Amino acid sequence: MTFIRRTGVALAAGLVAASLATASIAAVAGAQTVPAAQTKPIDRANLDTTCAPCTNFYQFANGGWLKRNPIPPAYSSWGSFNELADRNTENLRLVLEDAAKNRATATNPTMRKLGEFYASCMDSAGIEKAGMTPIEGDLAKIRALGSTAEVKNYLIQQHARGNDVLFGFGSTQDAKNSSEVIGGIGQGGIGLPDRDYYFRTDARSVALRDAYVKHVANDLVLAGEPAAQAASDAQHILALETALAGSQLTRVQLRDPQLTYNRKTPAELRTLAPGIDWTAYFAAQKIPNISAIEVVNPKFVSTVDSLLGAVPVSDWKSYFTWNLVRRAAPRLSSPFVNEAFAFNQHFTGAKEQLPRYKRCIAAADNSMGEALGKAYVDRFFSPQAKARATEMVKNLKAAFRERLATRTWMSDTTRQRAYAKLDAFMQKIGYPDKWRDYSALAVTPSNSYYANATAVTDFDNAYDISHIGKPVDRTQWGMTPPTVNAYYNPLMNEIVFPAGILQPPFFDPNADDAVNYGGMGAVIGHEMTHGFDDQGAQYDAQGNLKTWFTSSDLANFKASTTAYAKQFDTYTILDSLHVNGSLTNGENIADLGGLTIAYAAMEKALAGKPRPKIDGFTPEQRFFLAWAQIWRENMTPEQARLLIATNPHAPAIWRVNAPFSNMPEFAKAWGCRPGDPMERPAGQQAAIW
């Protein structure tokens, strides 16, 4: 259903966790009771004054808070993002409970469907009673497969229903001609969070694979297989997934837009994977005349093709059964939900499941996000907040422009193109101007939750595929309005800030400028800098993958971004796990650039105004405290291990201490001296944008 590659670079993780198997992972965060927002923009009670700011600023700024805020048992982490998302969740609950209560009489058909969807998800009694009934028809289809040809046809039919079995398919902008929407094929097919989990040989990884095989077998038993058969089938599934993983690109390779740009005609796709009937495939997707397909990883597609011909039909049946159960589990009865939760604990470290209503709110946000989002912004987002945020984006843009003029490593030719790219930025703030039309969505009062969720998958798939061959829809959003996150999309050259993040502690109309520039200002600067990070800088003002740097400027740029990646390679968490400087390079460049530009914008905003200390801190000091408090976060070791392997963002402590130790502005504000851990030696400070 989806071709997830360049939908954009987000401010924080969350999408990573959500891509794991089930909704039992806290995609939307929250505590058992809603904590009030902190009353002061910067609260001294959150500090650890026993730690010097020039020694470990993250600890100085957040130590008090970290000590007082252990991770609630249903969560894998707890921090500012969770606190805010949790408040949003409680507001969404009001919207959804009203929609469910009024669904029989609602005159707005979209609100009626939203109410039906939520009510069906909350119907735990009905879901328990149904047990595995909802998937029995699909299981029977898998059991009836008798030949390789039928296996291949099953794959085609699954894709036509939006189920990404073995690989993802969907619409995408052509990276080298961003105004054209074509098809896209991604890599997939594995159940562990990353290809590397299949090949690591350390004791922890071996034990994790054993646990995975047990989990797969447990799911097969739930689907009706005898235990001994399930144990043997699970081994075959691991072998099959290992073969798929072996052909996958690594996450670092996936960050290389040139490597992953492989535009093919349907004829070329037939040559690449001759065993798949692509004519039948595109006919089933209702796009028989498709003209071009971007293939992220051609080797992977040809591996799938040869495995389809070589692996016994019985193994495919086990594999398809496992895929079906894994996908369906969050929508089925407790044995399915509990099994998924138990295995995911290896990655979340969560002690208990989220209450059902929180899982259902997350599901409603994932499934009907713009219907829910519209009701949310109508009730909880003010035009004033949108106006203030728009003003801030304007100020950040002006500061970025001035900063570009001072970059001595680039020639004037490149600088003029950088100005053009900055000027061409599109911005989306709060919510979409044009809301999605849900009239074709088949959510009905008589449907089970499973049937409603399946209707959403069908609807989303048809919507996504319908874009192929049409002009780019520039009004579309990649996040829902209540989301506490933000993103830059290089193919659209756009920065996007959902209503969900335009609140304290990121953005507070009642706070001083310093706090808002250190929070939301730096977030805006972060997204802007993504247009100029090691990936984003490869796209021009129109979002085309095209070099616009002169060759000597490009060499200078690469030298400094590579040096910054090496700096991050030296940072660790949990004593010995190293940050992957290459995987996190784009985000780290964006943090450093975003902070530098937001700081300059704050100085402009404060020029000529009185600069009183507030609670003992200068405006400059409050700027850095504001950024640090956004990243305060306690995290389970399980989640930390998962994220270090899969997340393109560095761990929270390094998103604070690393950029600050490269900023002369920080050393000046806090009186750090050469030799202090928070001040890198003069010749080794990174300054890219």
Cα distances from 453 to residues 117, 351, 367, 376, in angstroms, run: 8, 27, 8, 21
Residue 38 in contact with residue 506, Cβ under 8 Å? no
Question: Minimum CB separation from Zn ion for residue 91, in Å?
Answer: 25
Say if CB 509 and CB 385 are below 8 A apart. Answer: yes
Our CB check for Zn ion shows the closer of 292 and 523 to be 523
Nearest to Zn ion of 339, 587 (CB atom): 587
Binding piece for Zn ion, criterion CB under 5 A, among 7-15, 238-246, 314-322, 498-506: 7-15
Nearest distance in Å: CB 188, Zn ion: 24
Q: How far apart are CA 583 and CA 654, in angstroms?
A: 14
Q: What tokens were used for 195?
A: 């290809």
Q: Which is nearer to Zn ion, 233 or 587 (CB)?
A: 587
For the chain, count helices (H), then strands (E): 28, 12
Q: Which is nearer to Zn ion, 373 or 593 (CB)?
A: 593
Q: How far is the CB of 528 from Zn ion (least distance, A)?
A: 10
Helix, strand, or coil here: 650? coil
Query: Quick check: is 591 catalytic?
Result: yes
For position 484 contacting Zn ion by CB under 5 A, the verdict is no
Q: From the CB of 677, what's the least distance to Zn ion, in Å?
A: 25
First to last CA, the chain: 37
Considering the complex, state which of residue 87 and residue 526 has its C-beta at the smaller distance from Zn ion. Answer: 526
Which two structure tokens, joined as six digits, stand for 591?
Answer: 């943090």
In the complex, minimum distance from the CB of residue 18 to Zn ion, in angstroms, rounded to a whole number: 16
d(CA 581, CA 570): 8
One-letter amino acid of 626? A
* Options 3-11, 20-28, 175-183, 473-481: segment touching Zn ion (CB under 5 A): 3-11
- In Å, what is the CA distance from 652 to each residue of 78, 530, 570, 640, 644? 12, 18, 15, 10, 11
The interface mask with Zn ion, positions 565-604, x = CB under 5 A, is: ----------------------x--x--------------
- What's the rounded Cα separation, in Å, for the pair 187 and 3? 9
The answer to whether 52 and 672 have CB atoms below 8 angstroms apart is: no
- Tokens for 459? 């609807």
Residues 6+ apart with CB under 8 A from 78: 29, 31, 69, 70, 71, 72, 633, 634, 635
Half-sphere exposure of 163 (CA within 13 A, CB side): 19
- Piece of the chain touching Zn ion by CB under 5 A; list 1-9, 90-98, 292-300, 537-545: 1-9
What's 566's DSSP letter? Answer: H
Element (H, E) at 498: strand 494-498
Q: How far is the CB of 650 from Zn ion (least distance, A)?
A: 11
What is the rounded (10 degree) CA torsion for 579, 582, 586, 587? -10
In whole angstroms, how close is the CB of 8 to Zn ion at the nearest point?
9
Binding mask 11-40 for Zn ion (x = CB under 5 A): x-----------------------------
* CA atoms of 359 and 355, how far apart (whole Å): 7
Instruction: For the chain, give percent helix, strand, coil, nearest 5.
Output: 55, 5, 40
**Binding span for Zn ion by CB under 5 A among 2-10, 166-174, 301-309, 604-612:** 2-10
How far is the C-alpha of 599 from the C-alpha of 597, rounded, in Å?
5
- Among residues 9 and 127, whose Cβ is nearest to Zn ion? 9
Torsion angles phi and psi, residue 313, rounded to 5? -55, -40
Helix (H) or strand (E) holding 53: none
Instruction: List, in order, residues 6 or more apart from 643 with CB less than 8 Å away.
Output: 13, 16, 635, 649, 651
The binder of Zn ion chosen from 5, 7, 9, 449 (CB under 5 A):
9
Residue 436, token pair as written in the block: 């999605």
Nearest distance in Å: CB 425, Zn ion: 15
d(CA 102, CA 566): 57
Using CA of residue 454, residue 457, residue 461, residue 462, what is the dihedral sign? positive
Identity of the residue, 10 or 20, whose beta carbon is nearer to Zn ion in the bound complex: 10
Is 116 an annotated catalytic residue?
no
From residue 532 to residue 571, the character string flagging contacts with Zn ion as x (rule: CB under 5 A) and all else as - is: ----------------------------------------
Given the complex with Zn ion, which of 9 and 514 has the nearer CB atom? 9
Query: Are the C-beta atoms of residues 544 and 553 closer than 8 Å to each other?
Result: no
Write down the least CB distance from residue 403 to Zn ion, Å: 18
Which helix (H) or strand (E) segment is 131 a member of?
A: none
What is the C-alpha separation between 506 and 514, in angstroms, rounded?
12
User: What residue type is assigned to position 87 of the chain?
Assistant: R
Q: C-beta of 10: minimal distance to Zn ion in Å? A: 6
Which entry of 86, 527, 587, 633 is annotated as an active-site residue? Answer: 527
**Nearer Cβ to Zn ion (15/455):** 15
- Of the candidates 365, 591, 620, 633, the residue annotated as catalytic is 591
Nearer to Zn ion, 11 or 234 (CB): 11
> Distance between CA 530 and CA 543 in Å, rounded?
12
Q: What's the closest the beta carbon of residue 19 comes to Zn ion, in angstroms?
A: 17
Closer to Zn ion by Cβ: residue 60 or 689: 689
The residue written with tokens 């969807």 in the block is 117
Q: How far is the CB of 359 from Zn ion (least distance, A)?
A: 27
Q: Indicate the residue among 516 and 588 with the shorter CB distance to Zn ion.
A: 588
Residue 208 DSSP SS3: helix
The answer to whether the beta carbons of residues 506 and 84 sit under 8 Å apart is yes
How many residues of this chain interact with Zn ion, rule: CB under 5 A?
4
Active site residues per annotation: 527, 591
For Zn ion, the binding residues (CB under 5 A) are 9, 11, 587, 590
